Structure 1
Amino acid sequence: MKQLIFLSSFVILFNFAGISQDKSLSITGKVIESSTNQPVAFATVLLVNSDTKENLTGTTTIDDGSFRLASNSLNVHITISFIGYKTKTITNLKPKNGKISLGTIYIEEDLAQLNEVVVQAEVSKTQFKLDKRIFNIGQDLSSTGASALEVLNNVPSVNVSIEGDISLRGSQGVQMLINGKPSVIASDSGNALGTITADMIDRIEVITNPSAKYDAEGTSGIINIVLKKEERKGLNGSATLNFGEPTNHSFGLSLNRRTEKFNLFSQIGIGHRKLPNDRKSINRDIVNNTSLESDGIEYRNEKFYNIVLGTDYHINKSNVLTLSGNFAYEVEDQPSSNTFEFFENALRTSSWKRTEETEATNPKYQYELQYKREFEDNEEHVLLFSALGRFFGKDQSSDFTDATISGTNRDANQKTRTDFKEANYTFKLDYTKPYTKKFTIETGAQYVLNNVSNDFEVQDLIAGTYITDPNQTNIFEFDQNVLGVYGTAAYEGEKWGVKIGLRLENTDLETLLTNTNEGNNQNYSNLFPSFHSSYKFNEAYSLQIGYSRRVYRPRLWDLNPFFNIRNNFNIRTGNPDLKPEFTDSYELTNIYNFGKASINFGVYYRYTTDAIERRISTFQNNVNTYKPLNIGTTDAIGVEVNGKYPIANWISFNGDLNYNYFKRKGDFNGTLIDFNADQWTGKLTSKIKLPASIDFEITVNYQSGTETVQGRISENIFADLGLRKKVIKGKGVINLSVRDIFASRIFESETIQQDFYLLNRSQRGRFVTLGFSYGFGKGEAMEYSARKRF
C-alpha cells in the first residue's frame, strides 16, 4: 500500500519538475489525522486549476505533516489525499502579503476503503513456491512491534533459543539470508537481526531442501528474510532499553536517514549480561569401581559494544550500490567453581574445589559491498554482486586453581592462553533472467575463503614455576577455500511448476599443527543436483516434492585439536582428520488452507554418508575425552505436521510436530555400533489479545529422549511466555518476556558402556526481561537483541 504512495509521490514530483519556479504565491499548511491528532506524513497535496481541473503542481507532506507549495495564480484550489483517508478539498484561498496559510488541516479515515485493504492481509499464512515455503507476514504480526527473532519463532518448523540460536526442524547450522544474500544484519557475530521489526518484513522464505542456486553447505536448510521495499524519507529511528534477571541490560539505538539518492542507516548497542550455567557430571569406572562426581556453576559475564553503519546509493532507478559495516567489541569474564568428589568402592577418599578466572576480549568486524542492477524488461531480471568480509579475534587467558577440601592432596594450579584470529571472505555473483512469464534461468558463482590461526598454550605450576605442557600446546592453522558455480532452470505455470539445477563445488582444505608439523590436506570436487516441483490442485490444496544433495564440511572447532580443560576430567577436543558428510535429501510436502486456518503435512527422507557423531568418548583414569568422529551412515525418515488456527479474533494457535526415525550403521574401534532410534519434537504457541491493548503469548516446547552411538539424551520440555503492550499511541511498546518459566530446560546426556558410565547435566535456568522501545519519525518501536557467537 505504501509503495503506491511513494510511486504516486514520485510521479507528481517528476511531472512538475520542469514547471517554472517563478511563483509569487506561497501556500503552507499542516495535515493532521482527526481521530488521533497525529501528523500525516507522505500525504499527497495537489494544486489544481479551478477552471480546467488540471494539476498544476504538487508535493508530499513531511514527517510533521507540513507542506509548502508555490503558485502564480489565484484561480486554484488544494486537494489532499492519502490512502485509507477521505480526500480533502480546500477552495476560496485568500492570500495575505503574498502568502496563504491554511493552518491545521484535519483528514478523516475512509472506513470503507480501509476495510477493502485490510482484509487481504489480516493473518500470516504459508504458501508454496517451487523450492520453498513462504510465510507471508500479516497484520497479526506486523502490528506487534516484535523483532525478527520473535517473528521467526512464529514460523512453522523454526525455533529461536534463549541465546538467539536459530534452528530448523530441531537442527542448527541454518544459513540466514537477508533479501537472498549473506548480510551483516544476519550475521551470527552481530546484534543487528533483533533490530529488524515485524512491520519491516514482507515475508520469510523457509528452504528445507535448497536448490542448486544456494551454497551446498549445511543440511538444516536456509531461512531468507525478505524486507519490504517501502521507503521512509526523512530521519527515522527507534530506541530500546532492556533490563533482565539474571543480569541482561542493554540499550539500542537505530537511525535511518533517507533522501532521493541515499539511504543512511546506523545502529548502536551496548549491554551487559550474565549467563549462569549449573553443571553436574559423573565419571564412573565400572571395572575398578571408582567414581568421580562434580557439581558447580559456571558464569559467562559479558559487556558488549556494537555499531552498524551503512548506506544505499541509488545511482538511478535501475542501479543500487550498498556499503555497510559492523564493528563489535566484547569483554568477557568467566568465573566458575566446581566441587569434585572421588569415590573408591562407594567410599569418598578425597574432595577438592576447582575455580576458574577467565578474561577475554573479542573484537569483531564485518563489511559488505553490494551492487544490484534491475533491468527494465522485467522486475525479476536482476544482476547481483556482493562481497562480504568478516573478522573475529579472541585474546583469552585463564587461571585454574585446585584446592583440597579433604582426603588426598589435590592442590594444583594451571594457566591457559588463547590467541585466536579468523578471517572469512565471500564473493557472490547471481544473475536471474525471466525469458517469459513462466520460464526463468538462474546462474552464478561463489568463492568463499576462510583463514584461521589458533595459538593455544597450557601451563602447569611445578615447584613454583609455570611449565608449558607440550601435549596440550600447539598452533593450529586452518585454511579452507570453496569455489562454486551453478545453473537452474524453472517453469512455473498457474497450477504446475518444476525447477532443476546443478551446482559444482571445489573444496581446498589445509590444516597444520605448527609445533608438531602434523597436517591434513583435502581437495575434492562434487556435483550437487537439485529437483523441485509443485502442483496447485485448488485454492485449498497444494503439493510439493523436492530433492537435493548437501554437504556438511567440518567446522573449525570440529577440527581444532586443542583441549578445553575447564573441567579437566571432561575434556573436549577436535579431530583434524574429520571428513565432510554428504546427504541426499528427499521431501514430499502438502499444504491445506481452510479459511483462516492452514496445515502443512510433509514426509522426508535423508541418507548421510561419513556421518559425524560429535560426542564420542574415550575413558582412562576417570578422565573422559570426547571428540567428533565419522561413524558410518545414517538413514533417516521423518514426518512433519505444522499448522495455524485462529479460533477467534482474540486467540490463535500455532503448532509444530516432527517425528524422526533413523538407522545408524558403522563401527568404532572395531566394534559395530548399528542401532535404530527415533525422536519427537513439538512446539505449540498460543496468542491471546487481552483488554487494554495487551498481547499475551505462551510457547511450549517438547523434545523426546533419544539414543546416541554410546548412550542416550534425556527428554526436554519447557515453556516461554511474553506480554506486550503498546503505549504512546503505538509509538512505544512495553515488553515482558520469561524464558523457561518453570526452569525445566535441562540438557542431560548419558554414555553407557561396558567398562564406564558418564552423566553430563547442564541448566541455564529462568530468564526474565523487561524492555521499553520507542519509535520516532516514521520508525517503529522495536526490540534490541544481543546475539552471540561463542
Structure 2
Amino acid sequence: MKKFHFLLSTLVLLLTVTVFGQQKPARTKVTITGKIVEKTSKLQLEYATITFKNTQNPKLIFGGITDNKGDYSIDVVPGIYDITLEFISFKPTTISQKLLNQNTNLGTTALEEDATQLNEVVVRAEKTTVEIKLDKKVYNVGQDMMVKGGTASDVLDNVPSVTVDAEGNVALRGNDNVKVLIDGRPSNAISIADALKSIPADALDKVEVITNPSARYDAEGGGGIINIVLRKGKNLGLNGTVIATAGDPETYGLTGTVNYKAKEFNLFTTQGYNYRNNPGNAFTDSRYLNSDNSTRDFMNETRTNERLNKSYNANIGMDWFLNESTTWTNIFNYRRSSGDNRDNVFQNYYDVNHDYTYTRNRINEEDSKSKNVEFNTTLTKNFKKDGHKLTLDGSFSTNTDKNLAQITDTSTANSTISIDETLNNQTQSRNTLQADYVLPIGKGSQFEAGYRGNFMVNTTDYAVDSDGVPVPNFTNTLEYKEKVNALYTQYGFKIKKFSTLLGLRWEDSDIDVNQLATNDFTNKKYNNFFPSAILNYEIDDKSSASLSYSRRIQRPRGRQLNPFNNLSSNVNIFVGNPDLDPAFTDAIDLGYLKRWNKLTFNTSLYVNKTTDVFQFVRRETGTFVNGVPVIISSPINLATEYRSGFEFTLNYSPYKWWKLNSNFNFFYIQTDGDYTYTDFTGNPVFQDFDYKTTSWFTRLTSKVSLPYKIDWQTNMTYNGEQKNNQGSTLGNFSMNLAFSKDVFKDKGTVALNVSDVFNSRKRIQDTYLSGVVESHSEMQWRQRQINLSFTYRFNVQKNEKDKKPKGNQQQDDNGDFPG
C-alpha cells in the first residue's frame, strides 16, 4: 500500500510540476499544513494523499502525502481550492471553495473506514518483509513464508542483526545480553528461550529491533531490545485468519485470529495449538590430558534427543473507545505447554593408546509442564493538543514450570545400574505498573516523563535422589526477589534539519537471593542513572544520519545465581554464584540511512564497553568418576569487555517480481581479566582470560514472484568462526527454502517450507583447557524440518495495511523525534 500511495503521490507531484512549469513564475506560494488520522482510534495515517485543485484554473493542481506521523506540509499558489483528503479503504473528505491566500493550518482531519470499499479492494502493494528505519528495524512476520508452521524462535532467527543459537538463546549483533519484550512489556516467562519455542510464529505480527534504546525503555539489556508484537485485528466488522500446518518431523498446528470492530469497541482473539517433535543429536570427542598436556585417555560421547512438545496459546482482548479521546484496552493471555524429552547418551572410553575399554549409557527421561497466565490493562487519554497524551498501564502474571527427570546410568565395566531422579519446579510472579506522559511544547519540541515499577518473585525448588536417597549437594530452594522502581524524563526538539532527543532514567534496584535450605540470605541494593541521547540530521529527503548514546544494565538471574549443582552431566557440573553483581554497558552508535528508488541502505558503527562482565570459569574439583575428572563451571564478575562492530542492512527490488534483503555484521571483542584459584592439591592456579577475537555473520533473503501467483523465497545464513579464551566456535552455513501459492481468489494461501535444507545448522566447537581436556563437539538442536501450511482469510485482504497497535506507549513511540 505504501508503494501505491508513493506512486500516486509522485504522479500528482509530477503533474503539478508539469502544469506549474507552464505557468508564469511570478506567483508567491503559501504553505498549507495539517494532520490526517483514523476517526475511531485517532491513530495517524501514514501516506494519506492530499490534493488541491484550483476552482478558477483547473490546470493548477498541487498535492502531497502525509509523513509517518500523519502530518503534511504543501506549498500552493494563493487562490480558491477544492481540497481532497483520502486514503485507500477510507471514505475521502473534501473541503470545497477554500480560500488559501496565506500560510494556513487545516488542523486534524479524521477519515472513516469504508467497509464496503475495503471488501472491494483486491490489488494492494505488498509491504516489504523488512522495513529499515534510522532508529530501528521492523520485521513483518506475515510476509515471510519461511516461518510458516514455526515458532517465535524461528521468527527471530530470520530477523536482521539477530541470531538464535542451537539452544534457542537470542543474540543481537552477536551480543546475547539482549532484552526481549512482548507487546512492549518484559516477557514473564521463566525461560525466554523455552517460551519463544512454544509461541507459534503465526501469532506474531512483527518484530522491532532497537539497538540503542532511549530512556523511556527499561535499562535492562546491554545489547539492545527486541520487541515482539502479537497479532491484533484492525478492520471494521468481523474478520480473521486461520492457519493450519503439518510437517515432518511430526508437526501439527492450528492457529486462528478473529477480530470484530465496531465504532465503540474492538474485540480480538488469537488461539493456537501446536504439536511438535524436535529430534536432535550431538557428539563430543575428548582427549583427557595430564598436567604436562600429554595424553591420559580418551572418551567419545554421542547423544540423541527426542523432544516432544504440545502447546496451547491464547489471548483475548478488547479496546473500548470510551469517548473520542480515551481508549481502555484489556488483554488476557494464557499459555500452556507440556514436553516429553528423552536424552540418550553413550560414552565410549579408550586408554592412552586409544584401545576400547568400556561404555557407559545415560538415559534422561524428562517430563515438563509449563503454564503462564497474564492480564494487561491500558488506559490511554489523548488531550486536545495533538500529541498530548497520558498512558496508564498494568501487567500482572504468574508462571509455573515443572520438570521431573529420571536418569538411568549403566556401565559395561562393572555391570552397575544407578537411577537418579531430579525435580526442578519453578514459580514466578511478575507485576508491572507504568505511567507515561507526553506533552508537545510549541512547534517541533516535546517533553516526556514516566514511572515504571517492576516487581518479580521467582522460586526454584531443585532436588536430586540417587537410588532413592536424597543428595544434599544437589537439593535446595532458591528464592529470587527483584523490585525495580524507575523514573524517566526526556526532551526532544527539532531545529531545521537537526533533531535531538535527550533522556535520563533512574532505577532503584532491591534484589534478594535467598537459599532456603541453608538459610543463606543475600541482599543487594543499588540505584543508578542511565542517560541517553540521540542526534539526527536530515541530509536531504532521502538520507539521514544519527549519533546515539545510552547506558544499560544486565542483572544476574536464575541459573547464574543458584549455587546448587545441576545433574545434567556427572563430570561437567554447572554451579551458580549468588554473589554476582550487575554488569553495566555504555553504548555508542553512529548510523546512516539512504533511500533510492529501488534500494534502501542502512549502516552503523557501534562501540560498547561493559564492566563486571559475567565470565564462566572452569576448575577441577579433585573428584573423579570412573577416572574422569569432575569439572565445575561457574560465573564470576571477572572482566571488562570492549565490543565494536560494523553492520549494514539493505532492501533491494531490482524488479517488481524480485525482492532482496541482506544483513551483514562484523564485530570485534576484547576481554580483559584474570582468575586465580587454589586447586584440590593446594596449589594456586592462574587463568588468564585476556583475549581478542573477531567474528561476523551475514544473511541473504530472496523473494521471487513467479507466474500463476507462486512465490519463491530463499534464506541463506553464514555465521563466521568466533574464538574465545578456551577454544572456538567454528563457522556454519545453513539455508531455508519456501514456496507459496494463492488460491480461492486470494482468500487462501498454500505454503511449503524447508528449514535447514542441508541439515547443517549446528554448533561446532573446539575446546582446549591446558592440563585437563581437549575436545571437539557438534550439536544439532533440531534436524531439518519440512512444513506444509494453509492460510484462509475472511473479510480481510492478503496484504492488509498495518496500523500501529493500541495500548502500550512503548509500542507507539520508539524513539521518534518530535516534528
Give the TM-score, by structure 1 length: 0.79
1:700 offset after TM fit, Å? 1.1
Aligned to 1:762: 779
Deviates more, 1:258-267 or 1:150-159: 150-159
Counterpart residue type for residue 289 of structure 2: I
| Residue of structure 2 in register with 1:374 after alignment | 382
Moved more, 731-740 or 281-290: 281-290
Q: 1:228 and 1:412 mapped to 2: Cα distance?
A: 49
Change over 3 Å in CA distance of 1:349–1:183 after alignment to 2 = closer
Q: Is the 8 A contact 1:239 1:781 kept in 2?
A: no
Quote the residue 1:276 is aligned against. Answer: 279
Name the SS of the counterpart of 1:218 in structure 2: coil
Measured after TM superposition, the shift of residue 611 of structure 1 is 0.9
**Alpha-carbon contact 1:619-1:756 (below 8 Å) kept:** no
Which residue, out of 407, 413, 426, partners 1:420?
A: 426
SS of equivalent to 1:519? strand
Amino acid at match of 2:172: L
Distance 1:534 1:146 in 2: 40
| Corresponding position: 1:601 with 2:603 | yes
Q: Which residue of 1 aligns with 2:175?
A: 171
- In the alignment, the residues of structure 1 paired with residue 751 and residue 733 of structure 2 have an alpha-carbon distance, to the nearest angstrom, of 24
Contact 2:188 2:398 in 1 (8 A): no
Q: Distance in 2 between matches of 1:422 and 1:357?
A: 25
Deviations 1:129-157 (A, max 9, x none): xxx23549799879x99999688777542
Q: Aligned ranges for residues 536-615 of structure 1 at < 5 Å? A: 536-614=538-616
- Asked if the contact 1:774–1:780 (Cα under 8 Å) also holds between the matched residues in 2, the reply is no
Cα distance, 1:497 vs structure 2: 0.8
**Residue 292 (1) aligns with residue 299 (2):** yes
Asked if 1 retains the 8 angstrom alpha-carbon contact of 2:620 and 2:632, the reply is yes
| Aligned equivalent of 1:634, options 638, 641, 645 | 641
The verdict on how the C-alpha distance between 1:586 and 1:385 changes in structure 2, with shifts beyond 3 A counting, is: same
- Does the CA-based 8 Å contact 1:147-1:196 persist in structure 2? no
Letter in 2 for 1:766: R
Q: 1:578 to 1:395 in 2, by over 3 A?
A: same
Tell me what 2:711 maps to: 695
Counterpart in the other structure of 1:491 = 493
Identity over aligned residues, as a percent? 28
Stretch moving more, 451-460 or 225-234: 225-234
The answer for the alignment partner of 1:786 in structure 2 is none
State the Cα distance separating 1:627 from its structure 2 match.
3.0
Distance 1:439 1:184 in 2: 35
1:459 partnered with 2:465: yes
Q: CA–CA distance in 2 between the matches of 1:519 and 1:254? A: 47
Q: Is the deviation greater in 180-189 or in 426-435?
A: 180-189
2:753 is the alignment partner of 1:753: no
Change in Cα spacing, 1:494 to 1:725, as seen in structure 2 (3 Å) is farther
SS at match of 1:535: strand
More deviation, 310-319/555-564: 555-564
Tell me the equivalent position of 1:314: 321
C-alpha distance in 2 between matches for 1:762 and 1:382: 51
Q: Provide, for residues 533-552 of structure 1, a one-character-per-residue CA deviation record: whole Å limited to 9, x for no partner.
A: 01111134311101111111
SS at match of 2:371: strand
Alpha carbons 1:563, 1:572 under 8 Å: kept: yes
1:400 maps to which residue? 407
Change (3 A) 1:297 1:615: farther
Query: What SS does the aligned partner of 1:557 have?
Result: helix
559-568 vs 743-752, greater mean Cα deviation:
559-568
The answer on whether the counterparts of 1:184 and 1:367 sit within 8 Å (CA) in structure 2 is: no
Structure-2 residue corresponding to 1:363: 371
- Residue pair 2:336, 2:370 contacting (<8 A) in 1 also: yes
Residue identity matched to 2:377: L
Determine the C-alpha separation between the residues in 2 that align with 1:526 and 1:183.
Answer: 23
Residue 101 of structure 1: aligned partner: none
Quick check: 1:212 aligned with 2:218?
A: no
Rounded to whole Å, the distance in 2 between the matches of 1:280 and 1:349 is 19
Retained in 1: the 8 A contact 2:660–2:701?
yes
Write the letter of the residue equivalent to 1:235: L
State which of 426, 431, 441 in structure 2 corresponds to 1:435. 441
* Unaligned segments of structure 2, at least 5 residues: 6-34, 43-87, 94-110, 677-685, 801-819
**Which of these residues, 640, 663, 684, is aligned with residue 700 of structure 2?**
684
Once the two structures are TM-superposed, the CA of residue 577 in structure 1 deviates from its matched residue by: 2.0
Tell me whether 1:259 sits opposite 2:259 in the alignment.
no
Contact 2:327–2:381 under 8 Å retained in 1 = yes
Bigger CA drift: 343-352 or 535-544? 343-352
Q: Is the 8 A contact 2:435 2:450 kept in 1?
A: yes
2:778 partner amino acid: R
Give the one of 767, 773, 777 matched to 2:795: 777
Query: What are structure 1's unaligned runs of at least 5 residues?
Result: 11-40, 47-58, 66-81, 86-107, 783-790
Is the 1:372–1:385 Cα contact (8 Å) retained in structure 2? yes
Q: Which amino acid aligns with 1:215?
A: D
DSSP-derived class of the 1:299 partner: strand
In the TM superposition, residue 738 of structure 1 has moved relative to its aligned partner by: 1.3
Q: Deviation at 1:118? A: 5.7
Counterpart of 2:666 in structure 1: which amino acid?
A: Y
Q: Secondary structure at the match of 1:506?
A: strand
Distance 1:225 1:381 in 2: 26
Equivalent residues of 1:651, 1:689 under 8 A apart? yes
Contact 2:586 / 2:610 at 8 angstroms: preserved in 1? yes
- The AA in structure 1 aligned to 2:554 is Y
**2: CA distance, partners of 1:62 / 1:533:** 40
Secondary structure of residue in 1 paired with 2:133: strand
Q: Which amino acid aligns with 1:525?
A: N
TM-score by length of 2: 0.76
Alpha-carbon separation, structure 2, partners of 1:593 and 1:389:
42
1:611 match: secondary structure: strand
Contact 1:238 1:779 in 2 (8 A): no
Deviations 1:463-500 (A, max 9, x none): xxx10000111111111111111111111245211111
Task: Report what 2:57 is aligned to.
Answer: none
